[in-house]
Structure 1
């Protein structure tokens, strides 16, 4: 963990999870089943420490059956937009979810008591994803940066090359919107996700670091993500794989 320590972290009363969805009818069930398991694990936390959870799926310019698939998870809120930009989807989704959290509760949480977690529709979080993030938050973390692991779309020899180029461990250098958590007051102070179609996660973390947030860079909660080469975001993880796994003569690590 880096950044200034805090003697007493505010108790998290609400967790907001926002997932941008862009033509993910095939992988979306995996994502939502994994989120359900992570929420179930959080529900095992004893009262009064157990937070309330709001999940919002932002269906952004979907032309497939993603909306119909998402409707099968009736406990998750849905919003449809036509931005075609992941930064816009995350930004607008978080704004709506925060507004819902603040208006639905009699004991409305302050921004310092709301935790924002983000992942992607082509990804699957581990069951302890939320429990671990909130444990880190209780210990003073205002930003949690997790790792990702490609799924079986990446062949075994390609996975070996990816692992050779991708440092994974505590204190890792990577930034992934598919595995990120941040306290809402710090998120708002940093100016929110930029309304861009790429690198919105990297830009947010840079702004948070300018504020001097206390961050935890952990490998304890790896998120399984698609190993495909053609992704929905121009400079997303699929682009990373094309540039670094497919290139036979390229070496080094891109920090994402």
Structure 2
């Protein structure tokens, strides 16, 4: 079984599109009918995010940590207990490509760090898009780490100790641990994820916060 984890804190506006894209990826022909279980981890939600998830019938876990590391780890724990062999992670403000899971698995590695792209820059000044185009490497061999586009086999995840309870950069910490234990990591632009360039960042130090810094600079 393949598992996909989506942490969410008050994401009712974007969660539906995220889950619709995941549902398509879960039915990709290259997966040969293997079961894909999607778990949304609600972290201290006070909006209608849970109703959005319930409407499409995905599994849910609730925590009250306001901590994305705790949320991702909770989703991973649910899926590992159910027998997942591969864990894929994205964010509630992101949309994965139809072949996202299939491509991660096709790379034949223990972990996949994917890149991200943005298709709507309307919430940001034009300078932010220009800076992103100049400094971001969306190509194989990049060294970006995004919780919105990350995959890891169950055994390597366990050996690395899983996500630490960090409010930010939990994804970077996990990848650093994977590298430290000698896991084979692919830095690939093949698994595609479109993410939000919204002006209001949800996590200090995350992608949205980086864009905010560029916008204010």
- Whether the aligned pair in 1 keeps the contact of 2:95 and 2:195 (CA below 8 Å) is yes
2:208 aligns to what SS in structure 1? helix
1:144 aligns with 2:112: yes
Residue 132 in structure 1 maps to residue 103 in structure 2: yes
Aligned to 1:26: 13
Instruction: Please tell me whether Structure 1 or Structure 2 has the larger radius of gyration of its CA atoms.
Output: 1
The residue correspondences of 1:134-213 to structure 2 (distance < 5 A) are 134-137=105-108, 141-152=109-120, 153-154=123-124, 156-213=126-183
CA contact (8 A) 1:150 1:159 kept: no
TM-aligned CA distance change 1:247 to 1:232, over 3 Å: closer
Shifted more, 114-123 versus 221-230: the winner is 221-230
Whether 1:78 aligns to 2:84 is no
Separation in 2, partners of 1:193, 1:89: 9
Measured after TM superposition, the shift of residue 155 of structure 1 is: 5.1
Aligned mates of 1:123, 1:68 — CA distance in 2: 18
TM-score, normalised relative to structure 2: 0.94
The correspondence for 2:215, drawn from 238, 246, 249, is 246
Deviations 1:86-124 (A, max 9, x none): 00000011101211x23xxxxxx7xxxx01100000100
Q: Retained in 1: the 8 A contact 2:42–2:50?
A: yes
Aligned runs of 1:85-96 on 2, under 5 Å?
Answer: 85-96=67-78
How much does 1:30 deviate?
A: 1.0
Query: Structure 1 residue 52 and structure 2 residue 35: aligned?
Result: yes
User: For structure 2, which runs of at least 5 residues remain unmatched after alignment?
Assistant: none
- Alpha-carbon distance, 1:247 to partner: 4.9
Q: Is the 8 A contact 1:81 1:89 kept in 2?
A: yes
1:168 to partner: Cα distance:
1.6
How far, CA to CA, are the matches of 2:119 and 2:31 in structure 1? 34
Give the gaps of 5 or more residues in structure 1. Answer: 1-13, 103-108, 249-256
The 2-side partners of 1:158 and 1:231 are apart by 14
What CA deviation, in whole Å up to 9, does each residue of 1:135-173 have, x standing for no partner? 113xxx101010111241345553222110111211001
Equivalent pairs, count: 215
1:220 aligns with 2:190: yes
